[in-house]
Amino acid sequence: MPRSALVTMAASRRSVLRGMALGGLALGSGGLLAACGGDDGGGGSSGSGTTVKFGINEAKGSGPAYDRLAAMAAAYTKETDTKVDLNAVDHNTFQESVNTYLQGTPDDVFTWFAGFRMAQFAEAGLITDLSDVWPIDGMNDSFKEASTAPDGKQYFVPKDYYPWAVFYRKSIFEKNGWTAPETKDDLMSLMDDMQGKGITPFAFGDKQGWPAMGTFDILNMRLNGFDFHMSLMAGDEQWDGDEVKLVFETWKTLLPYHQEDPLGRNWEEAATSMGNGECGMYLLGTFVADAVADVADDLDFFTFPELDSSIGADALDAPIDGFCVAAGGQNQEAGKAMAKWLGSAAAADAANSGADVPFIAANSGASTSSYSALQKKSAEVVGAAANIAQFMDRDTNADFANTVMVPSIQDFLKNPDDIDGITSSIQEQAASIFG
Amino acid sequence: MSTETPVAAAATTAPPRQEGGVMSRNRGVIATVITAVLALLWLFPLFWAVLNSFRVYEYTQANGYLSFGGWTTDNYRQAWSQGNFGLHMRNSMLVTIPAVLLTLWLSSMVAFVLARFSFRFNLTMLGVFLAANLLPPQALLIPVFRMFREIPLPTFMSENGSMLNSFWALILVNTAFQLGFCTFVLSNYMKTLPHEIYESAELDGAGVWRQYWQLTMPLVRPALAALATLQFTWIYNEFFWATVLIQQGDKLPITSALNNLRGQFFTDTNLVAAGSVIVALPVLVVFFALQKQFVSGLTLGSTKG
């Protein structure tokens, strides 16, 4: 059908098209020549007059996240005289169509996530090897590791991150004389005390499917350790083994301390019930503050306490956002040069001074003066963590996370007694996805 | 429709008129009640969305959606500016209007040939046009995507020199997928035109082109109007192809741009409701302005005159 339509159209507008084809030939070859010239002359430092295309996963005007990226682009133009062509697409659309984007006509540099999501594209040859832009001043080893694909090369430049932790309202904890728990016993007695005072210990909502992944991640890291968690995510461990069953068993004993019927509640609603004091704590990312803006100043957090003293509590989820260079981009050298600059402290400072709300820069040289109290603490906590995971839907195959784990965890929350059935079903599907 | 038919049948077949009347009155009441309930069920989500689009998110979040209060019109203002709707509305029109015109023009030509001449392959041809309608467009996602990627366009038509990321791609895809339906409807409609007109036109020396342009087109104007209304709604509402073929944020049509109102984590549902109402408005305007054509469009070609 499209073919016949094309033919008909071409026939009916033959003369127009003939003109266009001729013009296109001239223009097309001109463009090619210009691109070659840019490559030769730019040679990495990207000379004046070059244009670099920058695809970002925030829609224009969507708030501070967009403002920060736009400020980075503007600062780059100012500093290097390279024109930046901004392509702003909203976060979810960008993420859902990233496959066609990278195989179609991608921009030179684009915003993306560290971890498995990055590694998948590296293996498919869709993103460019950036090992020659590393090391980057101010990026420590854990960030370098998060930027490295299984082939040992870096394909990613980190920009910022945010931790997942247990959030609570300072005033409520003070009023009741509660303190942040450090061991499992502390946690249990705190939760019992909360229940005794008519407060549900944990706010909980999993209508969207992904929030409960954070609970699974942290329980797995606390009970089985970071290394097991990562190899489980990579598909190298059994999902129906004793370790995963232990995670679900423990979760089952904790469920009575969570809000009931989590499948009917989205995270915003759960956050609200923590904000208004119905619930005492909420395990979520720092973005929880967006949903309870009126009490955001009263928020504080602690990392999830240790459950097994031989494993400790030094690992957490802290998804890292950053940049990749698309292999299909037209100007590789300019893309690489920009990616390197985007990882610098200057880029982070430009972003944070260009928006109302700063991000937590991955670069340790970036100024922290504009950070909120929560962000300063986040930076400390993540800096002190021995191991950083990226969150389940970034650490594992996206299809596995979305089509297997989302419904499986929801099944578990609906029917916590069927752990054997759920784990063996996950294992079956994992085997077919990871091969 | 289906509820009226038995009523009419009862009225004509039953000789004692009173009994038939009682029967039909009862059935009429039941039918009305059922239709009313169904209509309410169907309208409720729309009504709910419109209602909540006028409320502040903080208020509904704190008091729940069953509360009453927190009225505002800010959502509309914010949706328009944050969603950048002016730009995206323009994109939608740049795609929809040429696509509708092109579809009608091409399909009317095909329909004219199919209805006017009796070539051996006519039926097969109509079959081919209809068969394409049976295929879900999603099944063609990958071939169309790959094909468009390989089609070069001069840079003044598409900045990155490929069919992807250009309005041309959307216009072509929408035209191609709507062509089958339009051809079917128009050829059926054209078949109802009396053959004698063409015979006398031919006697007067009108060529095929003139028979098409000056004779047939004015006569099928009602059908074209009806189809234009339907096609406008469908192509304007099209979401799937735009998300796949357009990767540049400032080229997305308005239906896809509705996503601009969703955050990465946080979504202000009241704001999205306001945005949806804005996006739905052009379709509603078209529908109410051309309601007559719309309804006749649904039954077009179902009877032979």
Question: For residue B121, how many C-alpha atoms fall within 13 Å in the half-sphere facing its CB?
Answer: 4
Contact call for A97 and B267, based on CB within 8 A: no
Rounded CA gap, B275 and B262, in Å? 10
* The predicted structure's pLDDT at residue B23: 57
Strand-pair category, A387-389 with A299-302: unpaired
Using CA coordinates, name the residue in chain B closest to A269: B61
pLDDT at A49: 72
Asked if domains A47-161+320-375 and A164-317+397-434 share a fold, the reply is yes
Tokens 């306001």 sit on residue: B274
> Are A5 and B265 within 8 A, CB to CB?
no
Give how far A20 is from chain B: nearest CA, Å: 7
Intervals of chain B under pLDDT 70: 1-23, 294, 296-305
Q: Where are the domains of chain B?
A: 4-74, 82-298
Measured between CA atoms, the residue of chain B closest to residue A85 is B248
Q: Which of A181, A202, A189, A190 is nearest to A254 (CA)?
A: A202
pLDDT tens digits for range A118-170: 998 999 999 999 999 988 888 888 888 889 998 999 999 999 999 999 999 99
Could you tell me which CATH class the domain A47-161+320-375 is placed in?
alpha beta
pLDDT higher than threshold 50 for residue A418: yes
Question: How many CA within 13 A on the CB side of residue B200?
Answer: 5
A33: Cβ–Cβ under 8 A, 6 or more apart, which residues? none
Distance CA(A245)–CA(A232), nearest Å, equals 13
Number of other CB atoms surrounding residue B135 within 10 Å: 12
ipTM for the predicted complex:
0.73
- DSSP-assigned beta bridge partners for residue B162: B152
Do the chains contact at B176 and A87, CB–CB below 8 Å?
no
Residue B135 CA to residue A339 CA, distance in Å, equals: 43
| pLDDT score at A345 | 92
pLDDT of residue B124: 85
Residue A75 has a CB neighbour count (10 Å cut-off) of 20
A33 inside 8 A of chain B by CB: no
Q: Is A216 on the interface with B (CB under 8 A)?
A: no
* pLDDT attached to residue B297: 64
Task: Please give, rounded to a whole number of angstroms, the shortest distance from the CA of B175 to a CA of chain A.
Answer: 8
CATH code that applies to domain A164-317+397-434: 3.40.190.10
Do A290 and B263 lie within an 8 Å CB cutoff?
Answer: yes
- DSSP codes of every residue in B89-109: HHHHHHHHHHHHHHHHHHHHH
Instruction: Looking at A285-388, list the stretches that DSSP marks H as alpha helix, in order from N- to C-terminal side.
Output: 288-291, 332-342, 345-353, 373-384
Cβ within 8 Å of B, A 256-295: 267-269, 272, 276, 285, 287, 290-291, 294
Asked if A62 and B260 come within 8 Å (Cβ–Cβ), the reply is yes
Q: How far apart are CA B198 and CA A169, in angstroms?
A: 83
Domain B82-298 has CATH 1.10.3720.10: yes
Q: Any idea what DSSP says for residue A240?
A: T
User: Where residue A391 falls among pLDDT bands split at 50, 70, 90?
Assistant: very high
**Assigned token pair, A89:** 């697409």
Three-state DSSP at A158 gives: strand
**CA distances from residue A176 to A171, A190, A193, A273, B252 in whole angstroms, order as listed:** 9, 10, 9, 18, 52
- Where along chain A do its domains lie? 47-161+320-375, 164-317+397-434
Q: Tokens representing A9? A: 């159209």
3-class state of residue A301 by DSSP? strand
What would the two tokens of residue A219 be? 């329980």
Instruction: Please report the pLDDT score of residue A47 as a whole number.
Output: 52
Listed range (A77-81, A154-158, A215-219, B60-64) with the worst mean pLDDT: B60-64
* Distance, CA of B155 to chain centre: 31
With CB atoms and an 8 Å threshold, state whether A103 touches B149: yes
A39 at B interface, C-beta within 8 A: no
- Residue A41, pLDDT score: 34
